Structure 1
Amino acid sequence: MKLARSCSVLLFALVAATALLPVGAQAQTKLKMVLNWKFEGPQAWFFLAQEKGYFKAEGLDVTIDQGEGSAASIPKVASGTYDVGFGDMSALIDMAAKYPDSAPVAAYMMYNVTPFVIAVKKDSPIKTMKDLAGKTIGGPVNDGALKLFPDAAKAAGIDASKVSITNMAPNLREQMLTRGQVDGVFGYMLTVAFSAKAIGMNPDKDLRFIPYSDYGVDSYSNTVFFSRKLVKENPKVVEGFVRALNRAVKEVVANPDAGLEYVMKREPLLNREIERERLIATFSTQMSNPEIGKIGFGDVDDVRMKRNIDLVVDGDASARKPAVSDVFDRRFLPPRADRLSKM
């Protein structure tokens, strides 16, 4: 009896002591995250949140893996291989339309400006979408711009079937373009521009960009999303992740070099100056939609998101049209006052 009583007292003491520990010292919820692409400057906030303990302070043990394209991360989260992803909103909408029970749910919008382009050489005869007929355009199979091309072609009033599509490894995209092996390439403007710069090209002098936005494509781009299972069963984990990330985003925007330290720590072979330029350019071009002055960074405008859904789903008779709340859940956002209002 005395032994049993002693054990009970000891167990009570251990439970009480655990309750008094700071959150970061308690058992951590393990999360696996997959990024949109190989490690690069515009992922600085994820690494900073991890290295400075912001995730840990929320009770999270986050593992971050590089990705294979902005559309490729969506099925990896949908399948349960990863809990969290960073990737293209339009690809997420497409999955939600076709597989509503397994599609991930976005909770923090990062790239709120349409980044998709077709890049051609400066001396190319291709100057508009209408010049693409009979030409060969290439891109990695999971590239967001390639995935959205049929919708962009429809918006531009051209027949996408008259454009030949070829796939290549992501690291060969700019090389194949400059060698004339393809007439143009799909991609994010900054990704193509800085990858071209990394191989010695001058994107301002050597390339011409045909933006999808010139044809009325006003889509959202990369967002942070979570497995539907995690959102349903452990919403506090999602809320904590978003809170930690929002804290890191504000810090990196205020001091890009602080964030860049953790990028270089993760991938020392990167060109620091190019990644710094890429990071700052991302602020000014892909994260600077005027709407954030009204709704705050990380949120979406429901009317604009509805247009994005219409762009992706209209014309696909086999797909159900998801509601905005099916693809983006703002319940997990920090208060408006805690999120950025400008970049």
Structure 2
Amino acid sequence: MNFASKTLRAAALGLSLALLGAAAGAQTRIKMVLNWKYEGPQAWYFLAQDKGYFKAEGLEVEIDQGEGSSASIPKVASGAYQAGFGDLNAVIDLAAKRPADAPVAVYMVYNTPPFTVVVKQDSPIRTPKDLEGKTLGGPANDAALKLFPAFARLAKVDASKVNITNMAPNLREQMLLRGQVDGAFGYVTTITFGARGVGLDAAKDLRFIRYGDHGMDLYANAVFFSRSFVKDNPQAVRGFVRALNRAIKDVLADPAAGIDAVLRREPLLKRELERDKLQATLRNDMSHAEVARLGLGDVDDERLKRAIGIVVEANELPRTPLPAEVFDRSFLPPRDERPSKLF
């Protein structure tokens, strides 16, 4: 072999190695939108970033703040994001209307229905029927507000007799306190800590009319991906879920480390408040009895089927999606690797 041939072969080998190295180091990019502004109950997403769990799965994950649990679904459906964290019932709604566009959930996080209408403790509103003739307020993208027609139908409330007004999320508790609305939509945990911010003790000063107490045993927020991303990048989805599950276990073992990760994104947050919010979310929103049996992240198929039926019937949707259309458990880590007790 002459010198020129050896040189060409060496150059070709070097190029091949360079290309292989580049491929090995390539990261699949995922843009994720959260349910809300950065806060304690999102700690695991940030810890997975900071500890390199996403990177170890070959992923480059960018996480943006959200504008409400229902708002993240259309953002993923439109292709602006590949992944999101938001209300599964909004996924069901879209799957009934536009099945080809609806995202698919892959990890259930809020397995207990947090949806509520909150009123002041001295309010004459004591039952859902008492809401008729009253004014209720909520942020436009609030999941409890979006589900109110379904709740009203199940609770035999004439929704046409309830006045609805939209409000900025940070004004919810203030408007309720001032009597500008008779009640407000939201999540129990979110309202509890929002009330604390304006000097109220939710246990003493407020009363909650919970959807779950009136026939709406629904799932709430889940991690979901666009249908096209799931189809084209199944290993990336599996890696994301594996990294997330790993980070959740870390936060359960060391909540302070999780709050540290949140504060690195939003230093003006109050550590004690975000820690308490995280713990309340674990207790109130993530500890359905089925977790001990199924492990965090999974769903009960029969319960999900009933929930889909409730949403479809109450909102008079055009079709009833199958459970497999809205939730795909095939990306979950094995049962023994997922938490079964959260506190």
> Normalising TM by the smaller chain, what interval?
over 0.9
Task: Determine whether 1:209 maps to 2:213.
Answer: no
Q: Which residue is equivalent to 1:131?
A: 130
Task: Determine whether 1:294 maps to 2:298.
Answer: no
Note the residue ranges of structure 2 that are not aligned, 5 or more in a row. Answer: none
Q: Which residue is equivalent to 1:176?
A: 175
Q: Which residue is equivalent to 2:160?
A: 161
Aligned partners of 1:211, 1:13: CA distance in 2, in Å?
Answer: 60
The AA in structure 2 aligned to 1:10 is G
The AA in structure 1 aligned to 2:50 is E
CA contact (8 A) 2:136 2:182 kept: yes
Deviation at 1:199, TM superposition (A): 2.1
The AA in structure 2 aligned to 1:118 is V
Q: Which residue is equivalent to 1:306?
A: 305
CA contact (8 A) 2:149 2:314 kept: no
TM-score between the two structures when normalised by the length of structure 2: 0.96
Where in structure 2 are the equivalents of 1:97-112 lying within 5 Å?
Answer: 97-112=96-111
Deviation at 1:294, TM superposition (A): 1.2
Relative to structure 1, the CA distance from residue 330 to residue 84 in structure 2 (aligned partners, 3 Å threshold; closer, same or farther) is same
CA contact (8 A) 2:93 2:317 kept: no
Aligned partners of 1:13, 1:70: CA distance in 2, in Å?
Answer: 46
Task: Determine whether 1:38 maps to 2:37.
Answer: yes
Q: Which residue is equivalent to 2:328?
A: 329
CA contact (8 A) 1:253 1:283 kept: no
Where in structure 2 are the equivalents of 1:119-268 lying within 5 Å?
Answer: 119-268=118-267
Task: Determine whether 1:14 maps to 2:13.
Answer: no
The count of residues paired between Structure 1 and Structure 2 equals 338
Relative to structure 1, the CA distance from residue 9 to residue 337 in structure 2 (aligned partners, 3 Å threshold; closer, same or farther) is same
Question: Percent same amino acid among aligned pairs?
Answer: 61
Deviation at 1:277, TM superposition (A): 0.5
The AA in structure 2 aligned to 1:122 is Q
CA contact (8 A) 1:89 1:222 kept: yes
CA contact (8 A) 1:198 1:274 kept: no
Task: Determine whether 1:69 maps to 2:68.
Answer: yes
User: 1:56 aligns to what SS in structure 2?
Assistant: helix
Relative to structure 1, the CA distance from residue 138 to residue 44 in structure 2 (aligned partners, 3 Å threshold; closer, same or farther) is same
CA contact (8 A) 2:105 2:224 kept: yes
After superposition, give the CA deviation of every residue in 1:120-161 in whole Å (9 maximum; x if it has no partner).
Answer: 111111111111010000000100000111111111111111
Aligned partners of 1:18, 1:100: CA distance in 2, in Å?
Answer: 37
Deviation at 1:292, TM superposition (A): 1.2
CA contact (8 A) 1:117 1:210 kept: yes
The AA in structure 1 aligned to 2:233 is N
Runs (4+) of structure 1 exceeding 3 A deviation are 15-19, 315-318
User: 2:204 aligns to what SS in structure 1?
Assistant: helix
Q: Which residue is equivalent to 1:56?
A: 55
Relative to structure 1, the CA distance from residue 272 to residue 219 in structure 2 (aligned partners, 3 Å threshold; closer, same or farther) is same
User: 1:114 aligns to what SS in structure 2?
Assistant: coil
Deviation at 1:254, TM superposition (A): 1.6
The AA in structure 2 aligned to 1:79 is S
